[in-house]
Amino acid sequence: MEKLLDTLGERIDPAHTAMLVVDVQNDFCAPGGYIDAAMGRDVSGAVPVADAIARLLRAARNAGVPAIWVKAVYDFDYLSAPMLTKIREMGLEHAVCCAEGSWGADWFRIRPEEGEPEIVKHRYSAFVGTPLEAMLRRRGIRTLVITGVATNICIDSTLRDAFLRDYYVVVPAECVGSANRALHEATLQNVNFLFGDLTGGEEIAGLWAQAGAG
């Protein structure tokens, strides 16, 4: 049995931690993107979320914590029948979210540095149909600091899959966001209740800085 990691500092030790950046893309975050134009939802909260992720990325890079970027590509040819059925029920079959190679699929305000891996997903969870888990196992990762959008959909799906695959889950509250505030808060409460650590980016950055100085 692996050693239990009893403190947040132990759990986010740079030696076995990775940072996921999930779906910080124009279609989810930018004015004129899919969530704004096709769904009519307020995306104004995406800017502070992206900026908070940028700050945490600097701390991760300084501490040697790998950043793994997860990008949605939701062309209809890639989607499952249940996903397509829900899209049709919502009357959204006229638009494609994060179409492959489009402006909507590109990163919003932040982007990978050279050498940081990008993983493409066609489901809400970053683990389904992707090489993410194999990549994490090869690197000896035990903890995931999960950031991005939307809290109640792709972040929720990814963190639950991570927990069920025996990873420690850490969510910095200001580094995730959703156009649905109530469901955003519900996911954060579930993380705090059962699935991992709900904390702040500054606390994580501080612990990473201490680890680097030690």
Q: Which residues are catalytic?
A: 23, 121, 154
Task: Using alpha carbons, select from 3, 17, 5, 23 the residue that is nearest to residue 153.
Answer: 23
The letter for the amino acid at 123 is: R
CB atoms within 10 A of CB 35: 24
For the record, the structure tokens of 202 come out as 């500054």
Query: What count of Cα atoms within 13 Å lies in the side-chain half-sphere of residue 159?
Result: 30
Apex CA 161: angle with CA 159 and CA 166, to 5°? 95
Torsion of CA 203, 7, 155, 172, to 10 degrees: -10
Strands (E), the chain: 17-22, 67-72, 118-121, 143-149, 168-172, 176-177, 197-199
Q: Are the C-beta atoms of 23 and 71 separated by less than 8 Å?
A: yes
Task: Using alpha carbons, select from 137, 133, 112, 132 the residue that is nearest to residue 61.
Answer: 112
Q: How many residues does the chain have?
A: 214
Q: Are the C-beta atoms of 68 and 62 separated by less than 8 Å?
A: no
